[in-house]
């Protein structure tokens, strides 16, 4: 599971909740695109990554969003060595 999805689920937010928060910050992203970013099928732009860091109030970094494969693991939140 990606760090972005983990952070969203830990808050019990839906994709629509996140897209609404992004819209409040002036960034329009549809929930389908956000789902693809969470799932690793699409890369977030640096601008979207910056806004997501704001939405999640610093619990994620841009690196978590831009390079989720470094932090995706089955057992822990740590990146594999």
In-domain check, residue 63: yes
- Looking at the chain, how many residues does it have? 81
In-domain check, residue 77: no
pLDDT confidence tier of residue 72, bands split at 50, 70 and 90: confident
In-domain check, residue 76: no
Structural domains in the chain (count): 1
CATH number of the domain residue 10 falls in: 1.10.260
As a whole number of angstroms, the distance between CA 19 and CA 74 comes to 26
In 3D, which of 75, 74, 77 has the Cα closest to residue 61? 77
In-domain check, residue 79: no
**Helices (H) then strands (E): counts for the chain:** 5, 0
Coil/strand/helix, residue 73: coil
Domain range for 66: 3-70
pLDDT digits 0-9 by tens, 7-65: 999 999 999 999 999 999 999 999 999 999 999 999 999 999 999 999 999 899 999 99
In-domain check, residue 22: yes
């Amino acid at each position: 599971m990606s760090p972005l999805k983990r952070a969203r689920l830990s808050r019990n937010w839906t994709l629509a909740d996140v897209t609404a928060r992004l819209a409040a910050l002036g960034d329009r992203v549809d929930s389908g695109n956000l789902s693809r970013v969470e799932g690793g099928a699409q890369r977030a732009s640096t601008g979207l990554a910056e806004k997501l860091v704001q939405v999640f109030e610093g619990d994620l970094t841009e690196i978590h969003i831009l390079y989720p494969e470094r932090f995706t693991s089955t057992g822990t939140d740590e990146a594999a060595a």
